[in-house]
Amino acid sequence: MSVSAALSAVASGRPFSTSREALERAAFALFEERGFDQTSIDDIADAAGIGRRTFFRYYPSKNDLVWGNFEQELRKMRSSLDTSAPGKPLMDAIRESVVSFNLIVPGNEEAHRRRMRMILGVPTLVANSTLRFAAWRAEIARFAADRLGVADDDLAPVVIGYSALGASIAAYEQWLKVEDADLSALLNDAFGQLAAAVRETSRT
């Protein structure tokens, strides 16, 4: 359902069938119309045709709704990292898993752009992103530490985790600037440049 269709349903009072996806559609339509901070949980629940208590069965907060199934996707990334070939170079394994983590279902590109514009651009959500970005970095650091034979909190894997996150955000920022950009290609490019920088540093 498009944003305009969702807004039409909200205006007419027609309830959505209750699901996480329907709740997100109703919420993002309202965010686009009113702004994130100006939209309340009660507004979202009313638009979706559910009660406030039902909203909390799906999401603990309005902020969590914007992130969607982040924890589930993070578990998938962990599995992708852990099943990568042992002989694959470290940065190649991380790059492939991050690209897979960020694959967009065909037809969902615009919805994902709306989501990421909010996560990276709405001050309330930027502040709220710290814990989720930390969890994402921790998965990368854990994998790197295992490959390097060191503790998860040693400097090298922590640096790799921060670098991987920086490369991912840089790719997303470029993607959001260009309407027809290919996110997977940008992520591959960003991680390729990161790996090249690591190789260059190791030679000096």
pLDDT digits (tens, 9 = 90+) for 53-65: 999 999 999 999 9
What pLDDT does residue 198 have?
A: 67
What pLDDT does residue 200 have?
A: 56
The owner of tokens 């996707």 is: 73
CATH among 1.10.357.10, 3.30.70.270, 2.40.50.140, 2.40.50.100 for 69-203: 1.10.357.10
- Encoding tokens for residue 183? 């996110």
* Predicted TM-score of the model (pTM): 0.83
pLDDT, mean over the chain: 88
pLDDT tens digit sequence for 67-114? 998 999 999 999 999 999 999 999 999 999 999 999 998 889 999 999
Contact between 191 and 94 (Cβ < 8 Å) = yes
Residue 120 to residue 184: CA distance in whole angstroms: 18
Contact between 103 and 126 (Cβ < 8 Å) = no
C-alpha pair distances (Å), 171 with each of 147, 164, 176, 178, 187? 25, 11, 9, 11, 5
Extents of the domains making up the chain: 3-65, 69-203
The owner of tokens 């279902």 is: 105
The owner of tokens 């591959």 is: 188
Residue 103 to residue 188: CA distance in whole angstroms: 12
Residue 185 to residue 99: CA distance in whole angstroms: 9
pLDDT tens digit sequence for 2-23? 333 332 333 333 333 458 888 9
What DSSP string runs through 70-104? Answer: HHHHHHHHHHHHHTS-TTS-HHHHHHHHHHHHT--
CATH topology of domain 3-65: Arc Repressor Mutant, subunit A (1.10.10)
CA 62 to chain centre: 16
Identify the band that residue 196 occupies on the pLDDT scale cut at 50, 70 and 90: confident
